[in-house]
């Protein structure tokens, strides 16, 4: 409110002009300043008077902004939802107060950490300023309803509503206020960052009860971001109310104009396929039906084993032409890994399939998709690495996306990629057996960082004895004198795509050899390519600065294998049909 009052284009500011009407229609609500407020707001006796006040425009072209501050719990007085449909009907050209508020006014929904709100309200209860702390008083449910009305009804598609978190204002007021003004096509002015200390003539009569802190301030400043000097305890009595408020706050926070994703004006900066911005993900514990969550609302429990120690197993699965490729094979490996890690009270294969189909249907993915299946040991009852504290059963996460086999998050299967050799070694079965497809991927991530820093696609990893094992993300093959060669699986995950390529090679009459191959043998090979579910078969044109053959991408053997592999999803028994979606 003070920021807009400081803007040179603001004609007037009104502090909660509906407050009097709110108290008038709810006589059971007590406030120490109630009589004074009702006297100062004569419009409280009439809904029409309130609407007339809210829709009164400035007549000064140099100061067109009229700013009204409200509390969310006062919004139902306007009955906007009831008027939304008629207000946006094309045939209804008659101007009404409700229509003006819905279609012409600009709305800012200001959020605050609900725990801080509850604690602040409870402090006011202790002082006698208000009688109790309730969901109705906090107003988050009304904010959600108001946001739904403003953003989901009508042809404007939410362009007249901005959600702002107070944390963002405190953290970077200039950027946040600029984002608000840009959304509403109004100029930001640096005057919005400062104001004089003390009470303001437009403050409500309740200011002495609530505005002590802001009266001491002189504007937004870097000091606003300082860590608090005191830390408040949480009264256990308040926890049920906080549990109710938090999901509402989290929902609204996801719409914030300075949400972490909001700074990317081009969604492809975050999502290579813009459809993934609206993805739904499945999360559920064993024995529960689970649920589908929007990507920006899905979260992990701090006591889940995946968080506590990377204690989980996973699979990456491809979707081709209404089929899930090698689904049964991936499921077997998932459950083999879970069995090796001695998971208890886990999901069944049928439950995993059901969750996958639900997720694919929700996102309407039938082709060109990728699924990340994760099964963790589940939620612990306390922080510990000890599996005996996993008492709730496994956690299943299904993340499905539209993802091309060739793109920014995969590889270039035509021109190929370059690799470097990693300084780290691939772990053998005497350490963490790579046959367990586990979530503890630090041994893969560090080489990937090295590859990123070197401008390479991936890093080639050696086993403890110095022979080539695989890359940080894929199995690897080379062709030497017509022989299709790949490292034995002692130090690598024997991938499902690797398995398919070995089979195809033998079908084509190629000599196939699994064995020990040095880095030099790969550098001097006729062809090199990697294999993986996400990227399929990717030619390699360089390793540690050494060009592979002519360095022009896929060689003849790689191309032939790629041609056959692309039709493998159609082979009998190699894929699982996706059910029809309704």
For residue 340, the domain's CATH number is: 3.30.470.10
State how far the alpha carbon of 466 is from the alpha carbons of 424, 457, 474, 518, in Å: 11, 21, 18, 7
- Cβ-contact 282, 374 below 8 angstroms: no
Of the spans 107-121, 399-413, 418-432, 458-472, which averages the highest pLDDT?
458-472
Strands (E), 458-510: 458-462, 468-471, 475-480, 483-487
| Whether residue 368 is found in the same domain as residue 450 | no
- Residue 209: what pLDDT? 84
Q: Are strands 395-402 and 369-376 parallel, antiparallel or unpaired?
A: antiparallel
Q: What is the mean pLDDT of residues 373-392?
A: 94
Residue, of 103 and 387, whose pLDDT is higher: 387
Q: Could you give the CA distance from residue 279 to residue 401 in angstroms, rounded to a whole number?
A: 7
How large is the average pLDDT for residues 108-117?
92
Predicted confidence (pLDDT) at residue 222 exceeds the cutoff of 80: no
Q: For residue 350, what are its two tokens?
A: 């049928």
pLDDT of residue 233: 81
Indicate whether 158 and 240 sit together in one domain: yes
Q: Domain for residue 13, yes or no?
A: yes
At a CB cut-off of 8 Å and minimum separation 6, what does 335 contact?
A: 349
- Same domain, residue pair 181 and 245: yes
Question: Span 336-350, mean pLDDT?
Answer: 97
pLDDT in tens, 487-519: 999 999 999 999 999 999 999 999 999 999 999
CA distances from 336 to 313, 341, 355, 534 (A): 10, 9, 19, 21
Q: Are residues 379 and 421 in the same domain?
A: no
Residues 77 and 124 in one domain: yes
Strand bridging mode 527-532 / 417-425: unpaired
* 332: nearest Cα among 579, 580, 576, 578: 576
Q: What is the largest CA-CA distance in the chain?
A: 96
576 inside domain: no
- The answer, yes or no, to whether residue 154 has pLDDT greater than 70, is no
Asked if the structure places residue 258 within a domain, the reply is: no
Give the domain CATH number at 473: 3.20.10.10
Bridge-partner residues for 543, per DSSP?
419, 546
How far is 351 from 427, CA to CA, in rounded Å?
32
Structure tokens belonging to residue 6: 């400081």
Q: Beta strand pairing status for 291-294 and 161-165?
A: unpaired
Same domain, 396 and 426: no
Is the residue at 298 inside a domain? yes
343 Cβ contact list (under 8 Å, min separation 6): 313, 375, 377, 394
Give the domain-ending residue among 377, 402, 427. 402
Report yes or no: 150 and 163 within 8 Å, Cβ to Cβ: no
Same-domain pairing of 371 and 462:
no
Q: Is 412 part of any domain? A: no
Q: Are residues 325 and 380 in the same domain?
A: yes
User: Residue 269: pLDDT band by 50, 70, 90 thresholds?
Assistant: low
Percent of all residues in the chain with a pLDDT value above 70, rounded to a whole number: 93
Q: Identify the pLDDT of residue 296.
A: 82
Range of the domain at 289: 282-402
CB atoms within 10 A of CB 557: 20
In a domain, 237, yes or no: yes
Is the same domain home to 204 and 332? Answer: no
Measured CA to CA, the distance from residue 210 to residue 576 in angstroms comes to: 62
Indicate the pLDDT class of residue 102, thresholds 50, 70 and 90. confident
For residue 262, being part of any structural domain is answered with: no
Question: What backbone phi and psi angles, to 5 degrees, belong to 485?
Answer: -120, 145
Composition of the chain by helix, strand, coil, percent to 5? 40, 20, 40
CB contact set of 430 (below 8 Å; sequence gap of 6+): none
For 84-104, letters b (16+ CB in 10 Å) and e give beebeeeeeeeeebbbebbbe
Whether 135 and 188 share a structural domain: yes
DSSP one-letter code for 197? S
Residues 119-133, mean pLDDT to the nearest whole number: 79
pLDDT of residue 253: 92
Q: What pTM was estimated for this model as a whole?
A: 0.83
| Whether residue 358 is found in the same domain as residue 452 | no
Q: Mention every residue, 6+ apart, whose C-beta is less than 8 A from residue 212.
A: none
Q: Which range, of 30-39, 371-380, 512-521, averages the lowest pLDDT? A: 30-39
Task: Determine the pLDDT at residue 155.
Answer: 46
323 pLDDT higher than 60: yes
Q: Sheet with 575-577: list strands edge to edge.
A: 291-294, 280-285, 395-402, 369-376, 312-320, 323-325, 575-577
Contact 319, 366 (CB under 8 A): yes
Model confidence at 485, in pLDDT bands (50, 70, 90)?
very high
Burial class (CB in 10 A: 0-12, 13-18, 19+), 207: middle
The domain spanning residue 108 has which CATH number? 3.40.50
Same domain membership, residue 441 and residue 295: no
108 pairs with which residues across the strands?
Answer: 162
pLDDT band with cut points at 50, 70 and 90 for residue 98? confident
Number of domains within the chain: 3
304 within some domain: yes
Final residue of a domain: which of 337, 370, 402? 402
């Amino acid at each position: 409110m003070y920021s807009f009052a400081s803007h040179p284009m603001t004609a007037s500011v009104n502090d909660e002009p509906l407050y009097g009407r709110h108290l008038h229609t709810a006589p059971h609500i007590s406030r120490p300043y109630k009589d004074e407020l009702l006297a100062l707001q004569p419009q409280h006796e009439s809904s029409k008077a309130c609407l007339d006040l809210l829709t009164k425009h400035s007549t000064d072209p140099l100061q067109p902004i009229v700013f009204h501050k409200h509390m969310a719990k006062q919004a139902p007085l306007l009955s906007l939802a009831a008027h939304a449909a008629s207000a946006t009907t094309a045939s209804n050209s008659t101007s009404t107060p409700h229509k003006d508020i819905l279609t012409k006014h600009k709305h800012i929904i200001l959020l605050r950490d609900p725990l801080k709100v509850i604690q602040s309200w409870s402090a006011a209860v202790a002082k006698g300023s208000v009688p109790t702390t309730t969901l109705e008083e906090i107003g988050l449910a009304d904010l959600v309803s108001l946001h739904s009305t403003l953003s989901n009804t009508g042809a404007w598609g939410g362009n007249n509503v901005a959600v702002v978190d107070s944390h963002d204002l405190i953290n970077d007021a200039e950027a946040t206020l600029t984002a608000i003004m840009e959304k509403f096509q109004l100029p930001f002015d640096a005057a919005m960052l400062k104001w004089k200390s003390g009470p303001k003539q437009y403050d409500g009569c309740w200011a002495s009860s609530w505005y002590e802190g802001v009266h001491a301030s002189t504007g937004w400043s870097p000091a606003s971001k300082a860590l608090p000097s005191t830390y408040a305890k949480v009264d256990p009595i308040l926890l049920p109310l906080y549990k109710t408020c938090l999901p509402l706050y989290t929902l609204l926070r996801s719409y914030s104009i300075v949400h972490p994703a909001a700074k990317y004006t081009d969604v492809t900066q975050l999502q290579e396929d813009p459809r993934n911005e609206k993805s739904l993900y499945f999360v559920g514990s064993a024995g529960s039906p689970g649920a589908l969550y929007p990507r920006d609302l899905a979260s992990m429990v701090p006591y889940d084993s995946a968080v506590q120690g990377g204690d989980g197993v996973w699979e990456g699965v491809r979707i081709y032409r209404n089929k899930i490729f090698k689904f049964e094979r991936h499921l077997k490996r998932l459950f083999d890994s879970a069995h090796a890690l001695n998971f208890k009270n886990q999901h069944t294969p049928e439950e995993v399939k059901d969750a996958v189909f639900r997720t694919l249907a929700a996102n309407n993915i039938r082709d060109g998709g990728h699924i990340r299946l994760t099964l963790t040991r589940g939620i612990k009852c306390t922080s510990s690495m000890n599996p005996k504290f996993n008492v709730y059963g496994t956690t299943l996460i299904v993340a499905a996306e539209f993802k091309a086999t060739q793109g920014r998050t995969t590889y270039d299967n035509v021109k190929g990629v370059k690799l470097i050799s990693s300084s780290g070694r691939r772990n053998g079965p005497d350490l963490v057996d790579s046959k367990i497809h586990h979530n503890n991927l630090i041994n893969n991530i560090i080489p990937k960082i090295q590859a990123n820093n070197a401008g390479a696609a991936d890093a080639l990893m050696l086993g403890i004895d110095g022979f080539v094992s695989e890359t940080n993300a894929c199995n690897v093959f080379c062709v030497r004198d017509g022989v299709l060669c790949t490292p034995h699986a002692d130090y690598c995950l024997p991938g499902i795509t690797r398995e398919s390529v070995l089979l195809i090679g033998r079908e084509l009459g190629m000599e196939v050899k699994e064995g020990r191959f040095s880095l030099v043998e790969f550098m001097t090979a006729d062809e090199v390519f990697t294999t993986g579910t996400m990227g399929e078969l990717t030619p390699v044109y360089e390793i540690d600065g050494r060009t592979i053959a002519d360095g022009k991408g896929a060689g003849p053997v790689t191309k032939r294998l790629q041609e056959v592999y692309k039709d493998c999803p159609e082979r009998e028994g190699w894929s699982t049909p996706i059910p029809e979606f309704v």
